[in-house]
Amino acid sequence: MVANNTINFPSNQPTNKQVAAKSTLPTLTPETLQKFDVSGPRYTSYPTADRFVEAFTEESYKQTLAQRRIGGLTLPLSIYVHIPFCESLCFFCACNKIVTKHHERSVEYLRYLSREIDLHIEHLGAGQTISQLHLGGGSPTFFSDEELSELMAMIRRSFVLAPNGEYSIEVDPRTVNEQRLAHLASLGFNRLSFGVQDFDPEVQKAVHRIQPAEQVFSLVEAARRLKFDSVNVDLIYGLPKQSPESFSKTLAQIVELRPERIALYAYAHLPERFKPQRRIDTYELPAASAKIAMLSNAIATFLNAGYVYVGMDHFALPTDALAIAKRQGRLHRNFQGYSTQPDCDLISLGVSAIGRVGATYSQNAKTLEEYYDYLNQGRFPIVHGLALTRDDLVRRAVIMAIMCQGELQYEAIELAYMINFKQYFATELEALKELEKTGMVTLDENSLQVTDFGWFFVRAVGMVFDRYLQTDRNRARFSKII
């Protein structure tokens, strides 16, 4: 895939308008990479979480919950539960986690999750319908089977789980066996996400996460016997000791494994922000050219194996709900990434969890001590958030259309927000002309279309409409696009 420092991306993917004809993609030169491999948001929200302010308080959150009850019609909820505990430290990790061997700590944490649920029921009312539930971390499977049963019982006592909802859990393969997976199925989980990252033993050693490929293969086979709807596998490229050659072996194993979904993330080395990453030897990290080769090879490998490139960092088999949602224009994006569920309110529970209700975002306290202290006082553990302005809402709609559908019809935004699109975004449309010259987008009088080539840099297209980035060029806090 790499020759003379240029990389040609594959073009065997239908366009967003479902035209099967293949297009000629530009060659990715070092100059193009240098120009567009910049730091930028992943846009799991807009505005991004770094824009949250302390002026958004617990009282602000209560008012938002109260507004949800006004009007009679309530949409289904999505719930995220953050379980921060891990038994061992992965050096690449940028999550909010607590590394401990003391499993009794989860007993106390469950008590406080129960208090937080009770507070929500007090303000929302019991019996709200949930169409999506996700347990993340940390390692949710740090909880014992009994503790997971207790958590699900707490949720079912307070909410109604929709019959055809998506109920998923992140699984550390080192902490489960087939019996544990069977228990998860009995609790109602229908989707699993396994953290793999890389199968290469040297890479696993370098990031302090040893898990043989045979272990993951066995668990995925068990998940299929247990009739889980979908299995996702997380991969990371750009880790220490990785090379295009070594990563291609992992890709071949993933194709053999054939999970329904694949999440392929670029490793963002930010040791100044994430203390565990300071244990990684910077000299062992692959060069930018090697990273782009890994990405290119991964995309080609998965497309040739029949996967649909959903967008940015997600692949899915054509029969999976995520790929179907992409084809039907129903794809959405939230704090967990791409989703098939409608753009519903997200109630987030647990330390550091980020939620969205109405036109607001909120985040819980980031330390256990502070999180527990708020709940001991009978208060929501909200420490900051954001009430979106009208401009935020307009730009969010634009950015999410780009990130999810890869195209933007100006009239749709005009009708929804009563604006003249070309006047409102005159500066942005002028900037897009530069991206059009690179082959990332095509523009006409009525729409914007992200090209096949542009999909690999879709974050850069979304960034054009980010008002906050227009006035703040300090993007070091974000990961690189590639």
Q: What is the pLDDT of residue 481?
A: 61
Mean pLDDT of the chain: 87
- Is 404 annotated to bind a ligand? Reply is no
Q: Do strands 382-387 and 360-364 pair parallel, antiparallel, or not at all (unpaired)?
A: antiparallel
- Is 283 annotated to bind a ligand? Reply is no
Structure tokens at 28: 């990715």
Q: Which of 17-31, 120-134, 144-158 has the lowest mean pLDDT?
A: 17-31
What single-letter DSSP state applies at residue 175?
G
Band of residue 384 on the pLDDT scale cut at 50, 70, 90: very high
Band of residue 33 on the pLDDT scale cut at 50, 70, 90: low
- Is 344 annotated to bind a ligand? Reply is no
Q: Is the pLDDT of residue 294 over 70?
A: yes
Which residues are CB-neighbours of 128 under 8 A, at least 6 positions away?
Answer: 74, 77, 158, 159, 160
Read off the pLDDT of each residue in 400-422 and give the average, rounded to a whole number: 93
Measured CA to CA, the distance from residue 366 to residue 195 in angstroms comes to 23
- Is 150 annotated to bind a ligand? Reply is no
Q: Is the pLDDT of residue 244 over 70?
A: yes
Helices H / strands E in the chain, number of each: 18, 21
Q: Is the pLDDT of residue 293 over 60?
A: yes
Structure tokens at 302: 């998965």
Query: Could you report the per-residue pLDDT of 246-285, keeping only the tens digit for each?
Result: 999 999 999 999 999 999 988 888 888 888 888 888 899 9
- Is 287 annotated to bind a ligand? Reply is no
Measured CA to CA, the distance from residue 348 to residue 171 in angstroms comes to 19
- Is 197 annotated to bind a ligand? Reply is yes
Let me know: does 262 contact 235? Beta carbons within 8 Å.
yes
Annotated domain spans of the chain: 49-349, 389-472
Q: Please name the CATH architecture into which domain 49-349 falls.
A: Alpha-Beta Horseshoe (3.80)
- Is 354 annotated to bind a ligand? Reply is yes
Band of residue 31 on the pLDDT scale cut at 50, 70, 90: low
Model pTM score: 0.88
CA distance between the termini of the chain:
16
Which residues are CB-neighbours of 323 under 8 A, at least 6 positions away?
Answer: 308, 310, 316, 317
- Is 268 annotated to bind a ligand? Reply is yes
- Is 466 annotated to bind a ligand? Reply is no
- Is 95 annotated to bind a ligand? Reply is no
Measured CA to CA, the distance from residue 234 to residue 92 in angstroms comes to 13
Band of residue 477 on the pLDDT scale cut at 50, 70, 90: low
- Is 209 annotated to bind a ligand? Reply is yes
Read off the pLDDT of each residue in 368-381 and give the average, rounded to a whole number: 97
Query: Could you report the per-residue pLDDT of 172-219, keeping only the tens digit for each?
Result: 999 999 999 999 999 999 999 999 999 999 999 999 999 999 999 999
Structure tokens at 234: 């997380």
- Is 247 annotated to bind a ligand? Reply is no
- Is 86 annotated to bind a ligand? Reply is yes
The winner for highest mean pLDDT among 31-35, 37-41, 280-284 is: 280-284
φ and ψ of 415, to 5 deg: -70, -40
Q: What is the pLDDT of residue 20?
A: 31
Measured CA to CA, the distance from residue 164 to residue 191 in angstroms comes to 12
Read off the pLDDT of each residue in 469-481 and give the average, rounded to a whole number: 62
Band of residue 6 on the pLDDT scale cut at 50, 70, 90: very low
Band of residue 34 on the pLDDT scale cut at 50, 70, 90: low
Closest CA to 304 of 234, 252, 237: 252
Query: Which CATH class, in words, describes the domain spanning 389-472?
Result: mainly alpha
Q: Which of 106-115, 334-343, 431-440, 458-467 has the lowest mean pLDDT?
A: 334-343
Closest CA to 463 of 421, 432, 439: 432
